[in-house]
Amino acid sequence: MADMVRVETVLDSWKSIRNDTAQAVEEFPSDAFDFRPTDGLMTFGEIARHIHEAGHALTGLMLAGVEDFSVPGFREMLNEHLPELPAVSDGAQLASILRAGLDARIADLSKQPGTFYSHIMTRFDGMKVTRCEMLQFVKEHELTHRAQLFLYMRLKGLVPPTTRRRQAKK
């Protein structure tokens, strides 16, 4: 039976999500990157950085051949794959880093053979998944945080890029 999910489709979809994330970062006022709707939540800037770091580190572990994310010391392993992220002065600079970081990671992931993606691994919650399913999870993680960025935009009176595109089609 043929694979039901093509890796290229997952990667293309992730790139679209990342482009919308980067566009939101570009459009949000840089002097408001410390905005959080309430105590206990990440700021807009922290979420943007987290998106970059989490996607890079989780796929870095996958590319390094780590098969079990549920082991003690997972956080330390994850920290070894965190990208260096310089202090940024504005949204355009961070958006550029977000786009370039994913482009580089997609290039690395695209070089992997199909057997890499069909290999079973263990997620941090103990669930057994293929690497392709883990990649889908990483993409969905970003999508969740992108939604937070969009909510923060709405709270500041800004219209997220996906809404503007949908409205433009009407």
Phi-psi domain of 58 (left: phi exceeds 0; alpha: psi -120 through 50; beta: other): alpha
Q: Is residue 146 part of a domain?
A: yes
Confidence label for 42 from pLDDT (cuts 50, 70 and 90): very high
DSSP assignment string, 66-126: --BTTSTTHHHHHHTTPPP----SSHHHHHHHHHHHHHHHHHHHHTS-HHHHHSEEE-TTS
Residues 107 and 98: their CA atoms lie apart, in Å, by 14
d(CA 61, CA 81): 7
Span 99-120, average pLDDT? 95
Phi, psi of 130, rounded to the nearest 5 degrees? -80, 165
Residue 145 lies in a domain: yes
In angstroms and rounded to an integer, the radius of gyration of the C-alpha atoms of the chain is: 17
Is residue 2 situated within a structural domain? no
How many domains does the chain fold into? Answer: 1
Q: Between the CA atoms of 99, 101, 106 and 107, what dihedral angle is there, to the nearest 10 degrees?
A: 110
Domain that holds residue 94: 7-169
User: What are 57-86's pLDDT values in tens digits?
Assistant: 999 999 999 999 999 999 999 999 998 887
Which tens digits make up the pLDDT trace of 130-151? 999 999 999 999 999 999 999 9
In angstroms, what CA-CA distances link 111 with 14, 80, 90, 120, 130? 16, 22, 33, 19, 17
- CATH number for the domain harbouring residue 52: 1.20.120.450
On the question of pLDDT at 7 being above 70, the answer is yes
- The confidence band for 167, taking pLDDT boundaries of 50, 70 and 90, is confident
Q: Is residue 1 a part of any domain in this protein?
A: no
The answer to the question of residue 94 being in a domain is: yes
Residue 65 lies in a domain: yes
Domain annotation covers residue 71: yes
User: Is 87 part of any domain?
Assistant: yes
126: left (phi over 0), alpha (psi -120 to 50) or beta: left
For 11, phi then psi, to 5°, come to -65, -40
89 pLDDT more than 90: no
